[in-house]
């Protein structure tokens, strides 16, 4: 097991695999995540919208530092996953880039709460 895996970070893809402003969906264990590259920064959020539980966050438009759920327009901050009102929205995950590889640390809700 390498160092990334030990600290809970899982490899998802190469940095060069992501296109600017275009989300991509990954599954780590039982968790679906939506990953975005915006202005060379990588963001990782849960892919399941809390409104009607559609797995479409990865397909959302990017607006003012938020991703907009394509189903009914709920917005989530890319950094925190929170709604603009500040209320809880999507889980957000830590991201590491090592030698052009992207790793995401997915902590399940069970451990979070």
- List residues near ligand FES by CB under 6 A: 49, 51-52, 54, 69, 71-74
Using the minimum distance from each CB to ligand FES, give the nearer residue, 14 or 51: 51
Taking the complex as a whole, the smallest distance from the CB of residue 75 to ligand FES amounts, in Å, to: 9
Using the minimum distance from each CB to ligand FES, give the nearer residue, 66 or 102: 66
Taking the complex as a whole, the smallest distance from the CB of residue 71 to ligand FES amounts, in Å, to: 4
Taking the complex as a whole, the smallest distance from the CB of residue 34 to ligand FES amounts, in Å, to: 12
Taking the complex as a whole, the smallest distance from the CB of residue 47 to ligand FES amounts, in Å, to: 11
In angstroms, rounded to a whole number, what is the distance separating the alpha carbons of residues 29 and 4?
16
Using the minimum distance from each CB to ligand FES, give the nearer residue, 68 or 95: 68
The DSSP secondary structure of the chain, one letter per residue, reads --HHHHTTEEEEEEGGGSPBT--EEEEETTEEEEEEEETTEEEEEESS-TTT--S-GGGPEEETTEEE-TTT--EEETTT---TTS---S-EEEEEEETTEEEEE---HHHH-
Q: Which two tokens stand for residue 62?
A: 């990017």
Using the minimum distance from each CB to ligand FES, give the nearer residue, 6 or 53: 53
């Amino acid at each position: 097991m390498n160092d990334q895996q030990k600290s809970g970070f899982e490899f998802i893809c190469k940095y060069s695999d992501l296109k600017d402003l275009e989300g991509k969906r990954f599954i780590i264990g039982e968790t679906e995540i939506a990953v975005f590259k915006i202005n060379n920064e990588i963001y990782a959020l849960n892919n399941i919208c809390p409104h009607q539980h559609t797995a479409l966050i990865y397909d959302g438009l990017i607006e003012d530092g938020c991703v907009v759920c394509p189903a009914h327009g709920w917005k989530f901050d890319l950094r925190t996953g929170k709604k603009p009102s500040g209320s809880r929205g999507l889980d957000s995950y830590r991201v590491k880039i090592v030698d052009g590889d992207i790793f995401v640390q997915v902590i399940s809700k069970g451990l979070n709460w």
